[in-house]
Chains A and B, each alone.
Chain A
Amino acid sequence: MAASGGRRLLWHGRCWFSQTESAVLPQPPGSLYPPIVASATAKSKAAKRRRLEHFNQRVHAAASIEEKLRLYGQLQRPKYMLYPQTFALNADRWYQSFTKTVFVAGLPPRAASAAAKGPGAVAPEAAKTPEGAAGVAPEAAKALEPRTAAPGAAKIPEAAVRAGPYLDVGELRSLACDALLQECFYQHKKQPFLHRRQDHTAGPFLTQLVSTLVAFLCGRNPLLAASSLDLKPEVNYYWHHGEEVVVHGYRKGRVDPVRFQIDDHPHLQIRVPKQLPQIVPLESDLGDVPVIDHKPSKLPLFKKQYENKVFIGSKVADPCCYGHTQFHLIPDKLKRERFLRANLEDQIEVLYRANGIASLFAWTAAQAMYQGFWSEADVTRPFVSQAVVTDGKYFAFFCYQLNTLALTVETIKNNPRKNICWGTDSKPLYDVVEDGSVKGFNDEVLIQLVRFLLNRPKEL
């Protein structure tokens, strides 16, 4: 019988679940005959379903996370390579549709760390509250975190107990200016290599700025004291989303999931042992995901077949397995002047947004996979990470909450959850550096960066 022939194939001790399809009659217990199920090797839709089900069970039953990741990415087929830093027009809307992300302009209100800036920074604080209020307004209708609902007056003494002396914006500004001047002005350097100006000035400045700020702020944020700083790490993620028909080749005519892979190289990233708190509850709906009716290759995206990697920056055994902040550097060939020369001013912001969305989705999704979740076993708690995208002068801040990993055709059907990305436009940190001084330094950008670094779970 076809059923017993099928069962012999799976004789290596896998636990057996009888299929609950309409074609199967559930046998009464104590029956002498084996259950009637679809074949595992026939060229039929039922057989394909059964093979998929078997694969899902294997991944569910994997002994360790490494084994699970190995099985998840075992089958290699041609897949689209997504580049977070891309010159493609309107790439952010395409990436949003691939990752089921809602983009919300402005950052979520962070009242807990805003309260840490006490009377030492009154004037910039007054400038901050209208910006914070503007961020609150679109989300005012939605339920927010209980900590933001607490009255502001009660938070300041609480933060004073935790944060100690108030932060001095002047000192932070001098640290940032020193780092900038060292890289731009004081250090003798050779001429930058052609089209590599970001390695010459912006890259070292960013590294220097972040490392000094982390050292300066680690007293206030114990999470930073346990963090791990990576320089030029690798972040990879592989997933399926949507369906297509194979166009040519020996598999022509078959219906395949559309596979994507992101291979990202942020300039700097901070990984921490404890997860950042969620910003909004898991089932929140803050907007719509854009729907693109074209094939992904029209973006343009190209297919290649290679190893399916899922990596957050270090292996599963690392205790710092959650992400805190990533820093991305825009390369010289995607600089602003090029867009302006080509009359594409609006695409400048698109570049920053696409970079933020794609990189943060890859990072948070890989973190979720490191905890054992995948598209069939969706996340039970949201994963939050932050990113700063910069070209050395202009900074854009992004915040991402991963609510769902279920993006494949079967799992997306009854899944109301959406991932959410908050982001700002790019703002300059300074105007110009000349004669050993920085002109037009913008404190707001620096304070936003400090806020990002001070973000921590509520218990700490």
Chain B
Amino acid sequence: LFQGVRQAQWLTKTKLVEGLPPAVLSIVDNPAHQLEDLEEKVKHAISHARLWDTTEVAPRRERYCPVLFEDLIHLCRLMSMKYPSLTKRTLARNYKISATWERESILLQVRGLNGILINSVAPIPPVASKEEILDTEEHVLETFYPISPTIDLQEVHVYKELNDTGFRDGYPYSHPHTLFFLESANIRPNRFRPEQLRAKMLMFAFGNALAKAKVLYGNDPKVLEQPIVVQSVGTDGQLFQFMVFQLNTTDLVSSDGIKNLVWIDSDQNLYENAQCVPEVKKRVVTKPAGIYGFQPDTFKKFLALYLHGTV
């Protein structure tokens, strides 16, 4: 997407709020939710993914990005010692989503195999209060005239307007909880820039929420009584983008009325640098191998997003 998040906001009729919502921040700050030796374990996870995982000297991004994600999710899952309801979640890889909606007489749709999804039995409770939702009515979506909002979008002929959550009816884990996007291409041009990654996260979170809303409440556009919340995390192995999206309305044809809300926390570094081989200048080791600039807050936010909805 050309304009990044601004364009995605217009397409999904969303208002942006910087930073994570207070409900998630309270989980971050609550010391009861910490793992023991949290920093140790996260450092081991990062070292394993970036330094130790391969027979070669240094693993490539295609290898270390998914491995880092798996290790962090493994650490989060170990929290189910304390919260047994965390076992009511499943991870789905390579699942297909499709959602269609109309936006001021332009038909848009989101489709595709897009990464990894955590489903849960119980939905996440709405994050924003009723007043905040009503406040969005006055907010005006920014347009970027003369650039059309649908620039850079692929125009295809669709013969079936599909709305599919990716799972059949009767699936017990029916509520999408968190989406994960791993930018693991080796070459930099093949990876999304952070801005575009955030836009992609927004579009897919919106698509998931919309498909779920249509399944629950039918195809008629209306304001939802129970807003649907879907979270999203995107990373390229070092930088993390966190996002919480709340779908308040499926009435997307007009540009006024209640809008959807999104909270974005962008460009959180988990560590500054991972040195695989010690740096040697003039026969003296200046920088031994290891992980530098580790920031535990990023993992705390990751864990908070994982725990959100069950604590």
Contact = CB atoms under 8 A, between A and B. Distances in A.
Contacts of B172: 178
B91 A215 contact: no
A52 B105 CA distance: 82
Interface string B89-121: 011111110000000000000000000000000
A234 B90 contact: no
B168 interface: yes
B38 interface: no
A319 B166 contact: no
A282 B289 CA distance: 38
Contacts of B90: 178-179, 182, 208, 212
A188 B77 contact: no
Given A178-B173, A212-B90, A229-B74, A317 B80 contact: no
A4 to B, nearest CB: 35
B87 A182 contact: no
A228 B166 contact: no
B168 A186 contact: yes
Interface in B69-98: 70-71, 74, 77-78, 80-81, 86-87, 90-96
Contacts of B192: none
Contacts of B167: 182, 186-188
Contacts of B86: 215
B78 A228 contact: no
Nearest to A204: B93
A186 B80 contact: no
Interface stretch (A40-48, A308-316, A438-446): A308-316
Given A188-B168, A225-B81, A229-B70, A212 B87 contact: yes
A225 B96 CA distance: 33
B138 to A, nearest CB: 40
Interface string B28-46: 0000000000000000100
B87 A215 contact: yes
A309 B54 CA distance: 11
A136 interface: no
B67 interface: yes
Contacts of A309: 55
A167 to B, nearest CB: 13
Contacts of B48: 228, 314, 318
A157 to B, nearest CB: 23
Interface string A195-229: 00000000010001001101110110000110011
B95 A187 contact: yes
A311 B70 CA distance: 20
A236 B56 CA distance: 13
A175 interface: yes
A215 B80 contact: yes
Which residue among A182, A188, A212, A215 has the maximum number of chain B CB atoms within 10 Å of its CB? Answer: A215
A210 to B, nearest CB: 11
B263 to A, nearest CB: 27
A170 to B, nearest CB: 13
A78 interface: no
Contacts of B173: 178, 182
B98 to A, nearest CB: 10
B55 A214 contact: no
A231 B78 contact: no
B81 to A, nearest CB: 4
B164 interface: yes
B80 A218 contact: yes
Interface in B1-47: 44, 47
Contacts of B91: 208, 211
A14 interface: no
A188 B96 contact: yes
B303 interface: no
A436 B74 CA distance: 28
Nearest to B94: A189
A185 interface: yes
Contacts of A185: 168
B81 A317 contact: no
A216 B82 CA distance: 10
A362 to B, nearest CB: 14
A315 B51 contact: yes
B168 to A, nearest CB: 5
13 contacts: A178-B172, A188-B96, A188-B166, A189-B94, A215-B86, A216-B80, A218-B80, A225-B78, A229-B74, A234-B55, A309-B55, A315-B51, A318-B44
Given A225-B78, A230-B67, 10 more contacts: A178-B173, A186-B170, A187-B167, A187-B168, A189-B95, A219-B80, A231-B66, A231-B67, A311-B55, A315-B52
